[in-house]
């Protein structure tokens, strides 16, 4: 186990290095810069002042020199300085990160709960009305854009029925203690977490159904039934455990993509997380912040995939035997 963990960590380092180089080059190939935005907004119009700012932030140096300095800074856990927030990039990200983590983990919980349950029910009731309804719902939620789903949920449940707030993370001006504040955040979290989680739940439902039907046909399942085990015991202890392997693979891949999906959901629901920060940084050409968020996303994807490998070893003894 220790050898495998060390091997995965050794693979993460060059991966992050490649992501940094690729993103840095692509960002510098993109037209426009912060100073163009400042000039357009009439913040700075003096050419001498613009030259001084370029020299201060080091953007007047050759691209390869800027890249080498940035890699050296990342190795020292320094993601640069945010021009717009006038603060270190890492500090700004850490301020916004808890909100995004709450949203991502809640959406993941919704996706797993709804998707796995629907997939198991569809496989047990195969070719029935339940199977057809679940398949129809999975196709709908997979095809529906998350921003459209979020807007429709806002119109229906927030505007028409008034059950949930329209947006934000907390009620402005409310201060009723820690427990009441947590309930308030959960109340604001229901719509964005559901809108983001239903898209992934549709994928999990289809994959879980197919995986369950495949495992049901294997010899060890028939042997377990022949030994007199109840259907529930066979379903939970034998079939679901093996059918969850593809779900874990998808979960590891999609945890990283949820960071990108949260950009749209956070914009729709005014959720103050990394997605909103990334969108604002792209529009304002705050490239150090954009690079910092992308580096964070690459680390998240790499760690999730390494965790998936370890979970595979836990669920499938055949992998540990190799």
Q: Which domain holds residue 183?
A: 109-272
Token pair for 303 = 């760690």
Q: Which tens digit of pLDDT belongs to each residue from 152-161?
A: 888 888 888 8
In this prediction, residue 15 carries a pLDDT of: 81
In this prediction, residue 243 carries a pLDDT of: 80
Query: For the chain, how far is it from start to end, CA to CA, in angstroms?
Result: 12
In this prediction, residue 37 carries a pLDDT of: 63
Task: Give the span between the Cα atoms of 34 and 289, in whole angstroms.
Answer: 12
Within a domain: 113? yes
Helices (H), the chain: 2-29, 34-40, 47-57, 63-75, 89-124, 129-143, 146-153, 178-216, 219-226, 231-233, 240-269, 274-283, 287-315, 317-320
Task: Give the span between the Cα atoms of 127 and 67, in whole angstroms.
Answer: 57
Within a domain: 289? no
Within a domain: 79? no
In this prediction, residue 36 carries a pLDDT of: 65
Within a domain: 257? yes
Within a domain: 196? yes
Task: Give the span between the Cα atoms of 86 and 71, in whole angstroms.
Answer: 21
Total number of domains in the chain: 1
In this prediction, residue 283 carries a pLDDT of: 77
Task: Give the span between the Cα atoms of 21 and 26, in whole angstroms.
Answer: 9
In this prediction, residue 73 carries a pLDDT of: 81
Within a domain: 322? no
In this prediction, residue 229 carries a pLDDT of: 73
In this prediction, residue 161 carries a pLDDT of: 84
* Residues lower than pLDDT 50 in the chain: 321
Within a domain: 132? yes
In this prediction, residue 256 carries a pLDDT of: 65
Within a domain: 220? yes
In this prediction, residue 294 carries a pLDDT of: 83
């Amino acid at each position: 186990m220790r050898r495998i963990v060390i091997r995965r960590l050794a693979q993460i380092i060059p991966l992050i290095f490649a992501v940094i180089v690729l993103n840095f080059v692509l960002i510098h190939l993109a037209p426009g810069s912060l100073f163009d935005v400042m000039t357009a907004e009439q913040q700075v119009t003096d050419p001498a002042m613009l030259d001084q700012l370029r020299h201060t932030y080091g953007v007047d140096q050759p691209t390869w020199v800027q890249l080498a300095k940035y890699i050296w800074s990342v190795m020292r856990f320094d993601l640069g300085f945010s021009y717009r927030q006038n603060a270190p990039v890492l500090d700004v990200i850490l301020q916004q990160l808890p909100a995004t983590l709450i949203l991502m983990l809640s959406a993941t919980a919704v996706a797993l709960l709804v998707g796995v349950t629907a997939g198991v029910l569809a496989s047990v009731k195969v070719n029935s009305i339940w199977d057809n309804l679940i398949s129809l719902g999975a196709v709908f939620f997979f095809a529906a854009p998350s921003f459209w789903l979020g807007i429709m949920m806002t119109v229906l449940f927030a505007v028409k029925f008034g059950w949930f707030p329209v947006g934000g993370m907390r009620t402005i001006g409310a201060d009723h203690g820690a427990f009441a504040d947590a309930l308030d955040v959960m109340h604001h979290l229901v719509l964005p977490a559901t809108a983001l989680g239903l898209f992934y739940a549709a994928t999990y439902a289809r994959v879980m159904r197919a995986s369950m039907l495949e495992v049901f046909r294997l010899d060890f399942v028939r042997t377990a039934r022949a030994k007199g085990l109840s259907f529930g015991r066979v379903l939970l202890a034998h079939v679901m455990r093996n059918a969850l392997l593809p779900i874990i693979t998808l979960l590891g891949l999609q945890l990283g993509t949820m960071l990108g999906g949260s950009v749209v959901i956070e914009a729709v629901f005014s959720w103050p997380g990394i997605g909103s920060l990334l969108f604002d940084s792209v529009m304002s050409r705050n490239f150090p912040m954009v690079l910092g968020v992308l580096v964070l996303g690459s680390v998240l994807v790499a760690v999730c995939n390494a965790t998936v490998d370890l979970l595979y070893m836990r669920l499938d003894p055949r992998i540990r035997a190799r």
